[in-house]
Amino acid sequence: MDKSTLLLSVDFTAAEKLGSIHDGLDGRPVVDWAKGERPDSLVGVKYALVWEFDHDLFDRMPDLEVIFSAGAGVDKVLSNPALPKDIPIVRFVDHSLTTRMSEWICMQCLNHLRQQKHYDAAQKKAVWADAPQPQASDVTVGIMGLGVLGQDSAKKLKALGFNVLGWSRTQKEIDGVVCYDESELDVFLSKTNYLVGLLPLTAGTTAIFNRENFTKLAKHPVLPSPIFINGGRGKSQVETDIVSCLEDGTLGGVSLDVFESEPLPGGSPLWHFENAYIFPHVAANSDVKSLGAYVDGQIKRYENGEGLENLVDLKLGY
């Protein structure tokens, strides 16, 4: 049986340095819309892998049956006003994506715990300067967002010795992690030294990381804290609040991989804080070969009547 064509509308320019999506697609034919391929007709193209795309793209695809998001987050896909409402959307879930994110979260918690910024500054000045070094067990990390990424991060932080709490819209159960639901946000924040954001972007999570909530975080008796770490979605944070909270000490430091507007404008004050780690949305870059294999596998499941996995719930927004 001939393989159905997949339409791509994703710019893989940087990510493809680690491989090619075609390596994972098992020979499946592709129309690469992002690279300028514009066939006269898209009739018969049943599948689309997208991130940012033309508003009229799906109007050209009368036989479209499944939309695949190129990332774990789906807000860019869902925000497109031309998105068909009756076609299933599948989000990307893969071990490589999960592992990259949890590695980054653990790295940031350890950077702040071991006061890496202090030692970087001392090294530049050739100064031999010690700083307090509490154990991980002396710090409570609170993770907001307990999907696949949040749960894996929680387990790895526990393995490093951190005390870990979790918060999500509906309460989850994770071994060794006390979890809170939507109604218990203030209690959760009051026990948290390091706040980690891994939330999907929805109406309820937009701007949730703000001054009001930062002021509710627990201060550590020795370390600069509270600390805010965001690897989720940029529009979940209020950057003017982050700036003012860094200025007045409400926050002792931040690690940010996502921003309200990307790339982060050169004029943003966030670039210049000595206690801020700034990353260009690279915490969990998609392994494009794995993405290709995932999409190809889901198409095969679908065509074999086994059903699609990791479907997006349009009512929840993730």
Widest distance between CA atoms in the chain: 68
Fill in the DSSP letter of residue 249.
T
Active-site residue, from 60, 118, 211, 281: 281
Rounded Cα distance between 102 and 84, Å, is: 33
Phi, psi values for residue 9, rounded to 5°: -130, 65
Is residue 95 part of the annotated active site? The answer reads no
Q: Any idea what the Cα angle at residue 178 is, between residues 175 and 182, rounded to 5°? A: 125
DSSP string, 14-68: TGGGG--GGGGTTT--EEEGGGT---S--TT--EEEESS--TTTGGG-TT--EEE
Is residue 220 part of the annotated active site? The answer reads no
Active-site residue, from 91, 100, 112, 233: 233
Give SS3 for 163: strand
Helix (H) or strand (E) holding 7: strand 6-9
Q: Any idea what the Cα angle at residue 288 is, between residues 286 and 294, rounded to 5°? A: 95
Which residues are identified as catalytic?
A: 233, 281
